[in-house]
A and B are shown apart, each in its own frame.
Chain A
Amino acid sequence: MNRQDNNDRFQQLLIRLVLVVIPTIIIGFITLRFVNFSYTALNTSLVSQTIYFAVGLTLAYTLYYYGARLAITFLLLWIGYWLFEKIINRLPGEFDVFYATARFQLYSTLFIFGWVFGFLLARIRWSYIIVFGLLATVTLVAISDTIDVSLTYILVHISPVVVYGLYMLFLSPLLTKRVEINLKRSGKLALRISLFALLILLAFIVTESLFKSDLKAVEKELGARGAKNNKDGSKNNDNNYDERNGLMEKGGKGDDGYRLKDTMRVNSKMSSSDKLMFCSKLDNYFPDGSPAPLYFVYHYLTRYDPVKETFTRDVNVPSFDEFDVDPVNLPMYYSYIDTTIFRKSMGDKLKKVVEAQVYLSENTWKHSVLGPANVFAIQTIPVEKDFQKTFISGYKITSYASELNNAYFVYNISANPMLEGIQDKRHEELRSVKGYSKIDNKFLNYYTTLPTGGIYDSISKLAFSLVGKDARPVDKVIAVRDFFLKRNENGKRIFRYSLKAGAVDDPNIPSSKMLYNFLFKTHTGYCTYYAGASLFMLRALGVPTRFTTGFAAINRSDKNKGWYWFYASQAHAWTQVYFPGYGWLDFDMTIGNEDQQNAPKPDGTPPLPPPEPWLVLNAKAESVNEKTKSLNASFSSLIFLNNTYALNKSFTRPIDASLCRILYNKKDTTFAAIHPGDSLIIVSYKDEAKKIPKPRPGVSIEQQVQDFPSPIIADEIHIRGKEKEKKKESGTKKGANVAEKKITWQEIALLAAKGIGALLIIILLLPLLYLIYRLLRISFAGNLSAKADQVYQAALYRFHMAGFERENETPLSYAQTKIDPALKAGFEEFMHVYLRLKYSAGTHQPEDAAVINRFAKNIGSSIRVKNGIFKSAAGYFNMALALRYFQTPTSTDYSTPSL
Chain B
Amino acid sequence: MNETTSKLKALTENIETIIRGKPKEIKYVVTALLAKGHILLEDNPGAGKTVLAKTLAQSISEGAIDFHSANGGVAFKRIQFTPDLLPMDLIGSYIFDESKKDFIFKKGPLFTHVLLADEINRASPKVQSALLECMAENQISSGDTTFQLDQFFFTIATQNPIEMEGTYPLPTAQLDRFSMKISFGYVSEEVEFDIYSNYLAIGNGKNTVKQVLTYNDVIHLQEAAEKVYIHPELVKGIVRLVQATRRHTEIALGCSTRGGITFIKCLKAWALVNQRDFVIEDDIRDLAHPVLHHRLIFRNREASRTALQQIADLEVNKLAKMGIPAKP
Please list the residues of chain A having a beta carbon within 8 angstroms of any beta carbon in chain B: 785-786, 788-789, 793, 808, 810-813, 834-842, 889, 891-898
- The answer on a CB contact under 8 Å between B280 and A894 is no
How far is it, in angstroms, between the C-alpha of A893 and the C-alpha of B299 when the chains are bound?
Answer: 13
Query: What are the interface flags for B55-85 relative to A under an 8 Å C-beta threshold, 1 for contact and 0 otherwise?
Result: 0000000000000000000000000000000
A811 to B285, CA, bound (A): 11
Tell me whether A789 and B279 are in contact (CB under 8 A).
Answer: no
Is B313 on the interface with A (CB-CB < 8 A)?
Answer: yes
Measured CB to CB, the closest approach of chain B to A724, in angstroms, equals 66
The answer on a CB contact under 8 Å between B248 and A894 is yes
- CB within 8 Å for A897 and B231 given contacts A812-B282, A836-B278: no
Nearest-neighbor residue (CB-CB) of A840 within chain B: B278
Kindly list the 7 A-B residue pairs having the minimum CB-CB distance in the complex, ordered from nearest: A840-B278, A841-B229, A892-B310, A789-B323, A839-B231, A785-B324, A835-B280
Q: Are B316 and A810 in contact (CB under 8 A)?
A: yes
Chain A residues whose CB sits within 8 angstroms of the CB of B299 once the complex forms:
897
**18 A-B residue pairs with CB within 8 Å:** A788-B324, A793-B323, A811-B281, A812-B282, A839-B229, A839-B231, A840-B231, A841-B229, A841-B278, A889-B314, A892-B248, A892-B311, A892-B314, A895-B249, A896-B249, A897-B299, A898-B300, A898-B303
Least CB distance, B73 to chain A, in whole angstroms? 34
Residue of A nearest to B284 (CB): A810
Give CA–CA (A425, B18) in the complex, Å: 131
Residues of B within 8 A of A788 (CB): 324
Which of B233, B247, B279, B323 has most chain A Cβ within 10 Å?
B323
**Which chain B residue lies CB-closest to A834?**
B324
Chain B residues engaging chain A, CB cutoff 8 angstroms? 229-231, 233-234, 244, 247-250, 276-282, 285, 299-300, 302-303, 307, 309-311, 313-314, 316-317, 320, 323-325
**Chain A residues, CB < 8 A from B249:** 893-897
Q: Which residue on chain A has the smallest CB distance to residue B311?
A: A892
Contacts of A838 in B (CB 8 A): 231, 280, 324-325
Given contacts A835-B281, A839-B278, 15 further A-B contacts (CB under 8 A): A810-B281, A810-B282, A812-B280, A812-B282, A835-B282, A836-B278, A838-B231, A839-B229, A839-B230, A839-B231, A840-B277, A841-B278, A889-B314, A894-B248, A898-B300
> Which residues of A have CB within 8 Å of B281?
810-812, 835, 839
Closest to A809 in B: B285
State in angstroms the CA–CA spacing of A248 and B277 once bound together.
Answer: 100
Choose among A793, A811, A840, A889 the residue with the greatest number of B CB atoms under 10 Å from its CB: A840
Residues of A within 8 A of B280 (CB): 812, 835, 838-839
Nearest-neighbor residue (CB-CB) of A889 within chain B: B317
**Which A residues are CB-close (under 8 A) to B311?**
892
Q: Considering only CB atoms, which chain B residue lies closest to A784 in the complex?
A: B324
A789 to B309, CA, bound (A): 26
The smallest beta-carbon distance between B231 and chain A, in angstroms, is 4
Tell me the bound Cα distance from A841 to B328 in angstroms.
9
Give A713 to B162 CA distance when docked, in angstroms: 115
Given the complex of chains A and B, what is the CA–CA distance between A891 and B248 in angstroms?
11
Instruction: Select which of A810, A837, A891, A894 is within 8 A of B320 by beta carbon.
Output: A810
A897 to B282, CA, bound (A): 29
Instruction: Find chain B residues with CB under 8 A from A898 CB.
Output: 250, 300, 302-303
Beta-carbon contact of B314 and A810 below 8 Å: no
Chain A residue at smallest Cβ distance from B247: A894
* Contact of A813 with B282 in the complex, beta carbons under 8 Å: yes
- Once the chains are docked, how many angstroms separate the CA of A693 from the CA of B279? 113
A897 to B281, CA, bound (A): 29
- Complex Cα distance A842/B277, Å? 10
The reply to whether A808 and B278 contact each other, CB–CB distance below 8 Å, is no
Query: Measured between alpha carbons, how far is A413 from B74 in the docked complex, in Å?
Result: 133
Q: Of A786, A840, A892, which contacts B229 at CB under 8 A?
A: A840
Residue of A nearest to B303 (CB): A898
Q: From B279, which residue of chain A is reached at the shortest CB distance?
A: A839
CB distance from A816 to the nearest CB of B (A): 10
Q: Is the CB of A786 within 8 A of B324?
A: yes
Residue of B nearest to A894 (CB): B247
With a cutoff of 8 Å between Cβ atoms, the chain A residues found around residue B314 in the complex are 889, 891-892
The chain B residue with its CB closest to the CB of A837 is B324
Give, as a whole number of angstroms, the nearest-CB distance from A893 to chain B. 7
List, in ascending order, chain B residues with CB within 8 A of A841's CB: 229, 231, 277-278
Whole-angstrom distance between the alpha carbons of A889 and B300 in the complex?
Answer: 23
- A895–B248 Cα distance when bound, in Å, is 7
Bound Cα distance from A121 to B11, whole angstroms: 64
Expressed in whole angstroms, the Cα–Cα distance for A785 and B307 within the complex equals 34
Min Cβ gap B55→A in Å is 28
Find the A residue at minimum CB distance from B278: A840
Q: B309 contacts which chain A residues (CB < 8 A)? A: 808
Q: Nearest Cβ distance between residue A464 and chain B, in whole angstroms?
A: 87
Task: Report how far A547 CA is from B69 CA in the complex, Å.
Answer: 121
How far apart are the CA atoms of A350 and B8 in the complex, in Å? 126
Across the interface, do A808 and B313 meet the contact criterion of CB distance under 8 Å? yes
Cβ contacts under 8 Å, B316 to chain A: 810
A892 in contact with B244 (CB, 8 Å): yes
Contact assessment for A810 and B247 in the assembled complex, using a CB-CB cutoff below 8 Å: no
A836 to B280, CA, bound (A): 8
Chain B residues with CB under 8 Å of A839's CB are 229-231, 233-234, 278-281
- Bound-complex Cα distance A841 to B309 (A): 28
| Minimal beta-carbon separation of B273 from chain A (angstroms) | 16
Q: How far is the CA of A893 from the CA of B314 in the complex (A)?
A: 12
Residues of chain A within 8 A (CB-CB) of B247 are: 894
Chain A residues, Cβ within 8 Å of B324: 785-786, 788-789, 834, 837-838
Which B residue's beta carbon lies closest to that of A785?
B324
Chain B contacts for A835, CB-based, 8 A:
280-282
> Contacts of B278 on A, CB cut-off 8 Å?
836, 839-842
- Measured CA separation A842–B231 after assembly (Å): 11
Cβ of A889 and Cβ of B234 under 8 Å apart? no
Q: Do residues B313 and A889 form an inter-chain contact, with CB atoms below 8 A? A: yes
Q: Which of A786, A793, A892 has the most CB of B within 10 A?
A: A892
When distances are taken between beta carbons in the complex, the residues of chain B under 8 Å from A808 are: 309, 313, 317
User: Which residues of A have CB within 8 Å of B248?
Assistant: 892, 894
Tell me the bound Cα distance from A786 to B327 in angstroms: 12
Nearest A residue to B313 via CB reads A808
Distance in angstroms between the alpha carbons of A695 and B281 in the assembled complex: 108
A812's nearest neighbour on chain B, judged by CB, is B282
A189–B182 CA distance with the chains assembled, in angstroms: 43
Task: Enumerate chain B residues within 8 angstroms of A813, measured Cβ to Cβ.
Answer: 282
CB distance from B179 to the nearest CB of A (A): 22
* Assembly CA distance A842 to B250 (angstroms): 40
Most buried by A among B277, B300, B317: B317
A811: which B residues are within 8 A, CB to CB? Answer: 281, 320
Are B307 and A892 interface neighbours, CB within 8 A?
A: yes
Cβ contacts under 8 Å, B313 to chain A: 808, 889
B2 to chain A, nearest CB (A): 15
Closest approach, in angstroms, between the C-beta of B125 and any C-beta of chain A? 32
Q: Report how far A419 CA is from B309 CA in the complex, Å.
A: 102
B5 to chain A, nearest CB (A): 15
Given A810-B282, A811-B320, A889-B313, check contact A894 B277 (CB 8 Å): no
Residues of B within 8 A of A895 (CB): 249
Q: B41 → chain A, closest Cβ, in Å? A: 25
Q: Give the chain A neighbours of B233 by CB distance below 8 A.
A: 839
Q: Tell me the smallest distance from the CB of A66 to a CB of chain B, in Å.
A: 31
A891–B280 alpha-carbon span in the complex (Å): 22
CA distance A889 to B281 in the complex (A): 17
A897–B307 CA distance with the chains assembled, in angstroms: 12
Residues of B near A897 (CB, < 8 A) are 249-250, 299
Residues of A close to B234: CB separation below 8 A: 839
CA separation between A813 and B281, bound complex, in Å? 11
**Residues of B contacting A893 with CB < 8 Å?**
249-250
Most-contacted residue by chain B among A793, A811, A838 (CB, 10 A): A838
| Least Cβ–Cβ distance between B296 and chain A, in angstroms | 13
In whole angstroms, how far apart are the Cα atoms of A240 and B234 in the complex?
76
Most chain A CB neighbours (cut-off 10 Å) among B230, B234, B310: B310
A891 partner residues in chain B, CB cutoff 8 A: 314
Question: Which residues does chain A contribute within 8 Å of B282, judged by CB atoms?
Answer: 810, 812-813, 835
